[in-house]
Amino acid sequence: MHDHGTLTPTVMTVQRIVEETPDVKTFRLAPVDVADGSWRHAFDSGQFGLFSVFGQGEAPFGLASSPTQVGYIECSIKRQGKVTDAFHALAEGDQVGYRGPYGRGFPYDELVRKNVVFVGGGIGLAPLRSLIWNCLDNRADFGDLIVVYGARSTGDLVYKRELDQWLARSDMQTVLTVDPGGQDEAWRGNVGFVPAVLEEVAPTVENTLVVTCGPPIMIKFVVQSLLKLGFAPEQIITSLEMKMKCGIGKCGRCNIGHLYVCKDGPVFSYAELKDLPDEY
């Protein structure tokens, strides 16, 4: 007989749902048959999975929890279409499908013993959150850790409790910002676009890697700012989003030139990206 179907997901229980913003929720999931907190899922930060609501369909989302987390995985989903609407309608205790991890994650081993700058925008913080906690859980292995994170408005900042934890830590620097007009009276952070704030922070170039995730337009300007600050294309790492169905290099729709975002990515260095056809 054949083995388990390649595209058949594992059934997972939604253990917890956190409403991050009006349109983003974080889902904590564990396999139905390993609900006792002992589940270990081997993956790299930056990898993704295909998440599904049975009857509504499947969609790819980055893994938002750290690989060091035992017992469950998390993904954060912004409501913007059929599958994401279905996720937002779920209640704790419901069951969903998951298959993964897929793709090439962040180059964790290359980050070790370096300064790491995390630059995120909006829901783009999700895969970075996985990596940030992974680095914090092995804090001694890294140089300076700097987080620059922004959203359209204070209400659109995700993981607010963790942002407070990071702000309170002395072993990392956390800089938060919201787009002009997005601040409220209680806001004590920066007001300005992420690339401009990043230029003010001006991280050291030497022995540093920058990992950035966010809306494509933000990434474009973040890259320009980084090049202006003196970073080389090899020092800039980002993650791409493309339409995907299989997640394993077969369904044929996420390629950029001969590379498949699902298989060769989603993580690419800017050095790799600038040689690819402009079709993403």
Is 243 near another protein (CB under 8 A)?
yes
**Pattern 102-121, binding to another protein, x per CB under 8 A?**
x-------------------
Q: Strand locations in the chain, DSSP E?
A: 10-21, 24-31, 48-53, 57-62, 73-78, 95-102, 115-121, 145-151, 173-178, 190-191, 208-213, 236-239, 255-256, 259-260, 267-269
Is 170 near another protein (CB under 8 A)?
no
Is 38 near another protein (CB under 8 A)?
no
- In this chain, which of 182, 192, 245, 269 binds another protein, going by CB under 8 A? 245
Task: Give the helix ranges, DSSP H, for 76-211.
Answer: 82-88, 108-111, 125-136, 160-168, 194-201
Residues facing residue 27 across a β-bridge = 17, 75
Q: Determine the interface stretch with another protein among 2-10, 17-25, 155-163, 172-180 (rule: CB under 8 A).
A: 2-10
Q: Determine the interface stretch with another protein among 5-13, 20-28, 138-146, 183-191 (rule: CB under 8 A).
A: 5-13
For another protein, the closer of residues 36 and 278 by Cβ is 278
Minimum distance of another protein from residue 66's CB (angstroms): 24
- In this chain, which of 173, 229, 242, 269 binds another protein, going by CB under 8 A? 242
Is 8 near another protein (CB under 8 A)?
yes
Are the CB atoms for 136 and 144 separated by under 8 Å?
no
Q: Which of residues 44-73 bind another protein (CB under 8 A)?
A: 52-58
Cβ atoms < 10 Å from Cβ of 250: 12
Cα 259 to Cα 200: distance, rounded to the nearest angstrom: 35
Cα 159 to Cα 19: distance, rounded to the nearest angstrom: 9
Is 81 near another protein (CB under 8 A)?
yes
- In this chain, which of 14, 134, 255, 265 binds another protein, going by CB under 8 A? 255
Are the CB atoms for 96 and 51 separated by under 8 Å?
yes
- In this chain, which of 37, 70, 95, 138 binds another protein, going by CB under 8 A? 95
| Token reading at 245 | 């169905």
Minimum distance of another protein from residue 150's CB (angstroms): 18
- In this chain, which of 110, 228, 234, 257 binds another protein, going by CB under 8 A? 257
Cβ atoms < 10 Å from Cβ of 66: 21
Cα 237 to Cα 5: distance, rounded to the nearest angstrom: 33
- In this chain, which of 76, 189, 241, 267 binds another protein, going by CB under 8 A? 241
Binding residues (CB under 8 A) for another protein: these are 1-9, 11, 13, 32, 52-58, 80-81, 95, 97, 102, 216, 241-243, 245-246, 248-253, 255, 257-258, 263, 277-280
